Amino acid sequence: EHGGARGHPFRLTDARANLISAGFNMETNHDRSSAFHARETNLRSSSLNLLGVMSCMAVLIILIIPLSLQGPIRLAATRTQYSPNIRVKSPALTVTRGNLSPYPLRATEQHPNTKNSATTTISDENLGEKRASATSQFDAISRMTGVVADTGDIAAIKQYKPIDATTNPSLILSATKMEDYQPFLLDAVKYAIASSMNRGMGYDEERLALAMDRLAVNFGSEIAAHVPGLVSTEVDARLSFDTEATVQRARRLISMYKEKGIDSSKVLIKIASTWKGIKAAEILEAEGIRCNLTLLFSMAQAVAACAAGAYLISPFVGRITDWHAAQSGIKCVDGVNDPGVESVRNIFNYYKKHGSDTVVMGASFRNKGQILELAGCDKLTIAPKFLQEMLECNDDVPQKLRADSSVSMDIPKIEIDEKSFS
């Protein structure tokens, strides 16, 4: 998730000022503007708030550079070791859940540009050991929705065994504080130094960008070894208003993954849902690079993403709710009558009504109730603390969203162009 203090969800907190002196002690969310109305001008200022997290990453990297020059980096041979050479030879991926009801996926998880390719079937055994309670909310929602882990902590991914995982700079920053993941950071620095020397890069911006991309791929590659499905890796949000730069960065991330033996079919490239970002996703999708359009707050963005052929969208439930709470003073605590939940519900119904195969993945949750109110959504990316809450609770989980019900709804089709988008 991208965000800051909940009291003012669209402004980076003052913790950024403490970054230089404290090193790690900053709030690890990076804010966005009130893009709920899909105003691109607001999105422009919101994307720049990633600078706080990027600055923190820069401090980490700069502090580590002297260490990287002292000699070869010795990587741990156990859980900090990079993932084995895993190659998904087919760009198509089909996930089945044995005797569990299949959760909604985009067709068979096969990219629309892929033809005549074999599929990889993932059995129920790959999705993890049997839970202590077959009736936990975790198991119940897993039967109707694809559960995705929203974390950079690989230990948590091993524990909860989601189908996919999502990462972002905030989550990676949090994970790099853990000793287990220090080799990932050291490798990123060493890689950036060596690559920049070979390519004649300058010392600062380009080298830092290269190091941060490598760091994201280091985490993503290891995560890919522990999920049967997809890993989302984010393009620098400061490029959100530059289509070509976003495309180039996405291609570089995919190239880095391939260097580590991870096929592009295992990766979703996360791109902010600005108009320029959506256009970048359209180009990448045509090349077979699947995209996760994130920072999505409105129906206008969802419609534009669908028209661009985006593989998946991530509407931000909590960020929408925060904005409404700040405006009205009314807080939603259990997901009922929650404006963030309602936004995702409306997008889900619109997509199913008009036959879109773009996956809807709710994100940015503030409480478990929001998650349960979206049971039946294609996918939900959930922080470990909420996964644990659901695992420990055996209350009923009624299905709230149903594609077959959406089809019969009276929902007019919306046409979006750049002018109406902004």
Catalytic positions are 270
Q: Could you give the CA distance from residue 263 to residue 255 in angstroms, rounded to a whole number?
A: 9
Q: Could you give the CA distance from residue 232 to residue 243 in angstroms, rounded to a whole number?
A: 19
Residue 293 pairs with which residues in a beta bridge?
271, 313
| Apex 53 CA angle, 51 and 57, nearest 5 | 110
Other beta carbons within 10 angstroms of residue 68's beta carbon come to 21
Contacts of 218 (CB under 8 A, 6+ apart): 82, 184, 187, 188
Q: Could you give the CA distance from residue 144 to residue 376 in angstroms, rounded to a whole number?
A: 5
Indicate the pairing of strand 92-95 with strand 312-315.
unpaired
Q: Could you give the CA distance from residue 382 to residue 371 in angstroms, rounded to a whole number?
A: 8
Residue 321 pairs with which residues in a beta bridge?
none
Question: Hey, CA dihedral for 247, 319, 344, 174, is it positive or negative?
Answer: positive
Contact 75, 183 (CB under 8 A): yes
Chain CA centroid to CA 230, Å: 10
Q: Could you give the CA distance from residue 228 to residue 149 in angstroms, rounded to a whole number?
A: 12
Residue 95 pairs with which residues in a beta bridge?
122
Integer-rounded Cα Rg, in Å, for the chain is 20
Give kind and range of the element (H or E) at residue 201: none
Residue 166 pairs with which residues in a beta bridge?
150, 232
Contact 265, 311 (CB under 8 A): no
| Neighbouring C-alpha atoms within 13 Å toward the C-beta of 114 | 20
